[in-house]
Amino acid sequence: MSSALLLSLAPVFLSAPPQLIGSGDEERSTFDHVPPVGASPEDLGGELYDPHDPPVVTLGLGGPDTVLYQLNLPHRRWKEEFAVVWPDTTLFLPPYPVLTLFHGYAETPLAVVNNTPLAVEAANRGWLVIIPLGAHVYNYGIDYAQDNIEDVFEFVQQLAPMDLDRIYAAGFSMGGGAAASYAARHLDPNHVRFAAVVNHTGSTSLRNTYNLAGIQTVFESPLMFGGAPSSAPFRYLRSSAIDLKPGNIVDPETDMVRNLVHVPVFHFSASNDPLQYLVTQSYQMHLRLQHWGGTSDWATVASSTHAWTTLATTILDQLEPLSFENPREGIPIPVLADRNGQWHFFELRQARDKRLSPFTFEWTSSSNSLAFSDVENVAMLAIDLTRSSVGLRALEQLYVDIQTRTLEPLDVALRGYTAPPSSVKRDLVETLNWTFQSGSQTLTLHETLGVFGASWTVSP
């Protein structure tokens, strides 16, 4: 959705008269409601888009500084409800740090405000707090729920300046897994990225949750995944930080947690949590992120409850000094993409959709070199060399190393060339396997020779 359209909707939103309302929810520690197979949107705790309803509505107030909103946008299947807890704007000046809270199973945004002091405490620090529904209360971070949350961020940005380097995520249970998945799937520098993630006993592996939670009807609903992991594996994988197989073994080919190596992740659990399989999932995610070289912290609280309240507000002290950091040069950065789009500095186009696409990149500005390895199911990787955060230069000799996992063609598009290069060599031999587009100032290297690796040298 364009920012211009969202901005045009903002006055409609702000002019709606708010009414004080209650959440009507209590903190849930067990799965005390399971929607039936074939459930209606209302049974899942959400509403479908309705062309007869206004695009933006203020549903009411959940307290002095908490407002509940709803987006009804034609490019989404589901309406999106979300709560915003505002800081005192007379005491705190924008841009505001943002705490995003991802709700647990069957929990509404306003219930989160009641179930954890994090929202009020963050607002008292001058932070903006956003609590999205994610389409409905049983969403488990499914792809369309994440699409809705994208719109929430874009809309709130029109209402209040956000500190884009200090946007944090915290989720409980279902929401812990959803927060981790959202962070792993949103690496576009042009949109919201999380500077840190707090996972409180999250459902980080949806296959494992399906097998052990006893709520298969939720996952199999035609409004959700539409079947078991065996019949719809990709949709489960793309919404999971890890895929935990029998024996608590993480599938090394499908762990999207690798995308968080540059993001600090904090894990919390109760020592005697009754949902031990969620503790196991979170701990395996913690270990897997450490395997990739990421920053992952594990903490256990003495308790026998599965509840928001076992996550202390002191976590905000740990988040407060953190700002988003781009991946650092000179270090291999793994990526596992699930769709076309922007992943860190690279625009990616898949060779085949509805599959995962791994690649690892590394660059060194001093030697003006860029390397790709472990590339699979990728048709194109494009990078803009004029980005100051990259530090690579089109006006000097550039070295590009390409190593693929399969014998598939790959295009590497380099933007920022104002003229064709004087020479392009592949493994020190002059080659014509490149094209130049003057309009987009893009030089594209065509790796088509069907070998696993090659070194390219581009001379301006």
Would you state the structure tokens that stand for residue 240, as one six-digit string? 């999971």
State residue 30's pLDDT score.
52
**CB contact set of 197 (below 8 Å; sequence gap of 6+):** 168, 169, 170, 171, 179, 180, 183, 260, 263, 264, 265, 266
State residue 17's pLDDT score.
39
State residue 351's pLDDT score.
96
Distance, in Å, from the CA atom of 416 to the CA atom of 440, rounded to the nearest integer, reads: 8
Question: Residue 16, SS3?
Answer: coil
**CB contact set of 237 (below 8 Å; sequence gap of 6+):** 207, 243, 254, 256, 338, 356
Beta bridge partners of 455: 401
95: preceding bond cis by omega (within 30 degrees): yes
Are 316 and 121 contacting, i.e. CB atoms less than 8 angstroms apart? yes
- Residue 158, judged by CB atoms within 10 A of its CB (0-12, 13-18, 19+), counts as middle
Distance, in Å, from the CA atom of 180 to the CA atom of 182, rounded to the nearest integer, reads: 6
Classified by CATH at the fold level, domain 3-319 comes out as Rossmann fold (3.40.50)
pLDDT tens digits in sequence order for the chain, 460 residues long: 444 445 445 444 343 334 444 444 444 445 667 877 667 888 899 999 999 999 999 988 777 799 999 999 999 999 999 999 999 999 999 999 999 999 999 999 999 999 999 999 999 999 999 999 999 999 999 999 999 999 999 999 999 999 999 999 999 999 999 999 999 999 999 999 999 999 999 999 999 999 999 999 999 999 999 999 999 999 999 999 999 999 999 999 999 999 999 999 999 999 999 999 999 999 999 999 999 999 999 999 999 999 999 999 999 999 999 999 999 999 999 999 999 999 999 999 999 999 999 999 999 999 999 999 999 999 999 999 988 778 999 999 999 999 998 888 999 999 999 999 999 999 999 999 999 999 999 999 999 865 678 999 999 9
DSSP conformation letters of 216-267: HHHHHSTTTTSS-TTTSHHHHHHT-S--EETTTEE-TTS-GGGGGTTS-EEE
Give Rg (Cα) of the chain: 23
Distance, in Å, from the CA atom of 38 to the CA atom of 59, rounded to the nearest integer, reads: 28
**CB contact set of 15 (below 8 Å; sequence gap of 6+):** none
Are 367 and 392 contacting, i.e. CB atoms less than 8 angstroms apart? no
Which stretches of 57-214 are DSSP H helices? 109-115, 118-124, 143-159, 174-185, 206-212
Identify the helix (H) or strand (E) that includes residue 316. helix 315-319
Query: Which is it for the CA torsion 391, 392, 396, 398, positive or negative?
Result: positive
Q: Which residue has the tokens 């399971």?
A: 34
Phi, psi of 457 (to 5 degrees): -130, 120
Would you state the structure tokens that stand for residue 280, as one six-digit string? 């196991």
Q: What number of other Cβ atoms are within 10 A of residue 36's Cβ?
A: 10
Name the residue ranges covered by the structural domains of the chain: 3-319, 333-459
Q: Is the pTM of this model over 0.85?
A: yes
State residue 34's pLDDT score.
81
Which CATH entry fits the domain spanning 333-459: 1.10.10, 2.60.40, 3.40.50, 1.10.1740? 2.60.40
